Structure 1
């Protein structure tokens, strides 16, 4: 058994689209020699009676009771190299399959049981996978074929409008300076680490979608394609 970090403060699971649930909570970490505390999001997709966890956030006992009322957790999906803190908790608690991109292995030694690739079956019946092919660290986006197209992203796509209750004062000030609080944004730390080219965003722009649920920030409903396309054009000229 892996030693799992404790649950941090978080909100309630909210059904943002039919059978798609969303919750925000705190993250505490050390990056570039600095202590950070900010918010992050988990998405839970219900497929029949199965629940698929994406961008895991460990819930407290009340939150887990709410989760268990929705269905049975069968799969945990890690879309990005920079997330994964709470993956072992859910994999161990539910005996779930653990999905990650080639090149991503959990820091704790947790075994990846299924690899995410564009040409293999996914744990969600109406999902497809977009992989950033030019990024220097593994990162992907899931697209759900429902509600006119929903993207589920990790760090690459973000939608922070303003700092929320899960930020420390120091992180709020630093991340304001770094440009994190920009709607339909590309993650500043991810951009620095991944160094992607515009080719990826040309491909992403070609997908059909209206909504985006990102690893950080608020749900972006209805205008996600228009808003992110403007960002891709501004940052990469595509």
Structure 2
């Protein structure tokens, strides 16, 4: 049996900014005996001909060929504790280096090649790391100093506007009932799991950004800061 997650259906890789791409795919998990199937995104940052993958998704052979046409996979970047199931595929098969937050647990007891910290080395240029130090499970956001600021998140801020082609019907109904859909949303399930302090969420309003690329949902272009501030207003 393969130690890697299967390559489930996904979209083509799409360019959203110069040297920044994303791909949307399928995630299937079991929780309390329920099968959940929803969408997730991987963001790809190109620095010259080197690629950094954030919130990894294992791609099909066709997808890997499209990825290879962009450059060589150099880094895997893990910014959320509840993601990372596909990190090992790129580390093992493509000799990528793992950047992760201190304290994260990785599959098969592997260790990160580099700690991802606000003051430490960065995997690519123009990258800022913002950590939620109060979180019970390590989580961070990345800010890229490009196109007036691009915020990359994992589970902290999602932009699921509704069911998409990678959801199954039962999961979509459940998530609707749990109010997990919304623009630049911070949901109660993530908050209860992580216990992130409100002050750290509100500090996101001090960052300069215009766009949001989340691990979940559509890219939020141009108006991301305004929508995030609107979401944060409920925590004041």
TM-score by length of 2: 0.97
Change (3 A) 1:215 1:188: farther
Distance in 1 (alpha carbons) for counterparts of 2:191 and 2:14: 29
How far apart are the structure 1 equivalents of 2:217 and 2:196?
21
CA apart distance, 1:177:
0.4
Q: Any idea what the Cα deviations from partners look like across 1:149-181, whole Å, max 9, x if unmatched?
A: 000100001001111011111111100000111
120-129 or 184-193, which moves further after superposition?
184-193
Residue 175 of structure 1 is matched in structure 2 by 175
Match in the other structure for 1:3: 3
Could you say which residue in structure 2 is the equivalent of 1:69?
A: 69
Distance in 1 of aligned mates of 2:190 and 2:100? 17
User: In structure 1, how many angstroms separate the alpha carbons of the residues matched to 2:205 and 2:181?
Assistant: 22
Query: After superposition, what is the alpha-carbon deviation per residue over 1:83-122, rounded to whole angstroms, capped at 9, x for unaligned?
Result: 0010000111111110111110213323311111111011
Question: Which residue does 1:229 correspond to in 2?
Answer: 229
Runs of 5+ unmatched residues, structure 2? none
Distance 1:200 1:32 in 2: 30
Looking at structure 2, the residues matched to 135 and 163 of structure 1 have their Cα atoms a distance apart, in angstroms, of: 28
Contact 2:88–2:107 (CA<8 Å) still a contact in 1? Answer: no
> Cα distance, 1:135 vs. partner?
1.7
1:8 CA drift (Å): 0.6
Q: Give a deviation string over 1:6-61, Cα, whole Å, max 9, x none.
A: 10110010000110001100000112332110000000000111100000001000
**CA–CA separation in structure 2 for the residues paired with 1:108 and 1:31:** 21
Q: Is contact 1:117–1:129 with CA below 8 Å preserved after alignment?
A: yes
CA distance in 2, matches of 1:32, 1:79: 25
What SS class does the counterpart of residue 189 from structure 1 fall into?
helix
Q: Is residue 25–residue 57 contact of structure 1 (8 Å, CA) maintained in 2?
A: yes
8 Å Cα contact 1:213-1:220 kept in structure 2: yes
- Cα–Cα, structure 1 residues 201 and 54, in superposed 2: closer, same or farther, change >3 Å? same
**Count of matched residue pairs:** 235
* Counterpart contact for 1:105–1:112, Cα < 8 Å: no
RMSD: 1.1
Q: Secondary structure at the match of 1:161?
A: coil
CA distance change for structure 1 residues 190 and 32 in 2, over 3 Å: closer, same or farther?
Answer: farther
Q: Distance in 1 between matches of 2:103 and 2:11?
A: 32
Q: Residues 171-224 of structure 1: CA distance to partner in whole angstroms, max 9, x if unpaired?
A: 111000001111110144322211212111221110000000001000000111
In the alignment, what sits opposite 1:89? 89
Instruction: Go from structure 1 to structure 2 and tell me whether the alpha carbon gap of 1:22 and 1:187 turns closer, same or farther (over 3 Å shift).
Output: farther
Could you tell me the TM-score, scaled by structure 1's length? Answer: 0.96
Structure 1 unmatched runs, 5+:
none
Q: Indicate the residue corresponding to 1:160 in structure 2.
A: 160
